[in-house]
Structure 1
């Protein structure tokens, strides 16, 4: 005969779950709910955590109610926006998930070129809304990514040299702090909190709405995508590095060591073949962009030149299918001041052990508008770096977990002697690589002090963030 023993922890959990149900209008999904497994899942299939309950907030008032329950009963707390962060920090074991995924409202004001965006929205939704008016705000590279997590961590993306990081376009945020107060933070109101949310990531409160500046671009843009033979990796990288210095800030060039994806527009016989990939989006007139991007096809002997004019929304969603929800992911990164011959040799050597075709190494260029923001003007600590390199392991078979993660970690370690010491908080493994000195640099102490001001009892400081 099997018996179930009720523990003190079970009783505490039931108490705060009941308190949520008594004060919220949105759903509260606990372990007994048929929707529980769906509610606890996030994009990264590596993450398999079992919260005590998921509080699916309908609006800001629900967030306030949930924060007050957290303050009264002190469960562990995690915050879910789009649920797309690699580390899976949207969900915690045995605690309270503040789920903002239904708070997806978007209002675009074409006259003032601004957008107000709910914390549960994804970039695909925001792109569709802004492109109705031929406007954009700088997002990432996969449109299924949540607006909240990308922005709070800084927001590297395809438009960063033209318009800055995602966080650089913020005008204000609505945020619920640990005392349950709703604040509108901007450069004029609560400027310390506004400074912190622009790249400071997690543990600052629950951001419920973002207000962004918008910029004219689209609906069509020039997009470069050129594949080169893998054997030319080092020579193409050297030529790419030289080209980067000559390209205008309207391009944020990328270089990748990857394998040809199963794209129906690419000949089937090329699928899975290791290649060198260079890419870039032109933030300006599309026809003009074709001329500016043309040198990307002259770095070696192209296998395929797919450069052309596409819809901006298509350029942002083109990679979505290659990083499906439920896949297993582990991303880690470095910032670099240069990509010289020694760095190229280290990258090619690391790629030789790449465990599967889906994994890749990618170099992104910074500078431009990113560097024009003052080093101390936001919490993002890597303004002066020239490049970001990430080792992006992606796979589907759990038996490959150790091999794939080991590859990303060993590649990261091999590149460490050439790096600045900084780590991008959105690409920091499964959270174990988040070192405050590396991710926040000289801003770490100021972030800690701001957290003490707004959350002295550490109710949300330990929260896993809003991915």
Structure 2
């Protein structure tokens, strides 16, 4: 049999663009691969997987470079990067789009908007569509349209093959339906290398946005009003709230509504009447402006970061709200925040076992964020996130697999709940020799100790 060769755009440590090529969004916990292959077509992915297996080379899969714990990088191994594969083809008669795995959300949203359509997905423009989708996909259209993975129709993926080394298969509700189930919330990099995704589309035009800001003294009442309103209001409205440090002294609630500004103003009455807001605005805008509004350019810049998260299945009691306030009063720096997004709506209309994404009963997803400037500040920042997660754990459930945290010991239960056993069965069927592995990858059943 002919030996495999790497094809595509190849970068090694000797190349001038290596530093840029190896750098992910998170500068913390850096990795130094021996070779990075930027695949331009599916055949390049097949060749890369075959080459890695023939040479017994450790490898990782990468797209948007937003793996919070840098699980998409490896020291002294191969990175199979699909970000050069970014074609998007729209079929308006069928209201579907086929999107290459390397497309980022900015590219996806802009292209779909040209046709007056969209998919529900995340907010940061440089995030890759594939990683977002495979983990679930939470964003500003989650409540009306569901998670990104709920709108997935089919994937093309390269899996490990016993005889050929690698083969291309399609997974949907008819073919390889078990892999398709696992690919809707089971996380990226566990079963194969996804090369394209097909989605159902939603028509979109004008939407209404809001932003309400409170000062530090309204912390408790503002958050309590938001958490008891946001998951239960009109499902056409998805919102988020960001709790900033005492130093910054702001609580900011924002959201996106598929409807008029007049309707939105009425829906917002419970928030508008809470505390003493320092600013309130409501605007009706083209959907493209909403995409720009929620994008965070700072989130797209490489930095030293630590993130973790959890779900709320019931509102926080007053004691938990006070704990958040205490932590933000003693934050390691002013970039530190606690962020929450409302769920339920279409997300909760699907049973927890229907897809690999388990937390269908959650009312809110939350994220603990910090970033810092100098490597020596790492310890105190990571400690802050870990201590906060533990302090809130009596009131929370699990964690979102797209907010991975290497300090979570029971990660398999935290990410996947009761779906973990079935995910391991799918892993055993499609990757029995554990070819696709990283620090928190799903193990096949016979390999689990």
Q: How high is the TM-score relative to the length of structure 2?
A: 0.91
Report how many aligned residue pairs link the two structures. 434
Alignment check: 8 A CA contact 1:86 1:430 kept: no
Taking the aligned partners of 1:456 and 1:428, their CA distance within structure 2 comes to 24
Taking the aligned partners of 1:206 and 1:436, their CA distance within structure 2 comes to 21
The residue aligned with 1:131 is 113
Deviation at 1:315, TM superposition (A): 2.6
Identify which of 221, 227, 236 aligns with 1:241: 227
| SS in structure 2 of the partner of residue 437 of structure 1 | helix
Q: Provide structure 2 residue ranges, at least 5 long, that are not aligned to the other structure.
A: 442-449
Deviates more, 1:38-47 or 1:304-313: 304-313
Taking the aligned partners of 2:61 and 2:407, their CA distance within structure 1 comes to 15
Taking the aligned partners of 2:54 and 2:118, their CA distance within structure 1 comes to 41
Deviates more, 1:357-366 or 1:291-300: 291-300
Deviation at 1:40, TM superposition (A): 0.6
Identify which of 412, 423, 441 aligns with 1:447: 423
Alignment check: 8 A CA contact 1:20 1:69 kept: no
Identify which of 78, 83, 92 aligns with 2:65: 83
| SS in structure 2 of the partner of residue 382 of structure 1 | coil
Taking the aligned partners of 2:90 and 2:373, their CA distance within structure 1 comes to 38
Deviation at 1:37, TM superposition (A): 1.3
Taking the aligned partners of 1:359 and 1:94, their CA distance within structure 2 comes to 33
Taking the aligned partners of 1:463 and 1:84, their CA distance within structure 2 comes to 16
Deviations 1:261-312 (A, max 9, x none): xxxxxxxxxxx73211111111345654454345433322111223322343
The residue aligned with 2:446 is none
The residue aligned with 2:445 is none
Deviates more, 1:177-186 or 1:313-322: 313-322
Deviation at 1:397, TM superposition (A): 2.7
The residue aligned with 2:182 is 196
Alignment check: 8 A CA contact 1:142 1:317 kept: no
Identify which of 5, 15, 35 aligns with 2:17: 35
Once superposed, what is the RMSD of the aligned Cα atoms? 2.3
| SS in structure 2 of the partner of residue 177 of structure 1 | strand
The residue aligned with 2:208 is 222
Q: Which residues in structure 2 correspond to 1:61-460 (within 5 Å)?
A: 61-179=43-161, 180-201=166-187, 202-218=189-205, 220-244=206-230, 246-258=232-244, 273-285=248-260, 288-293=263-268, 295-318=270-293, 319-339=295-315, 340-420=317-397, 422-430=398-406, 435-460=411-436
Cα distance change, pair 196–372 in 1 and its aligned pair in 2 (3 A) = same
Identify which of 31, 45, 48 aligns with 2:27: 45
Deviations 1:123-174 (A, max 9, x none): 1100001111221101112122111111111111111111111111100100
Structure scoring higher RCO (CA < 8 A, sep ≥ 6) equals: 1
The residue aligned with 2:447 is none
Alignment check: 8 A CA contact 2:231 2:363 kept: no
Q: Provide structure 1 residue ranges, at least 5 long, that are not aligned to the other structure.
A: 1-18, 261-271
Taking the aligned partners of 1:461 and 1:203, their CA distance within structure 2 comes to 7
Deviates more, 1:433-442 or 1:110-119: 433-442
The residue aligned with 1:8 is none
Deviations 1:21-48 (A, max 9, x none): 9634412212222221111111112142
Deviation at 1:418, TM superposition (A): 1.0
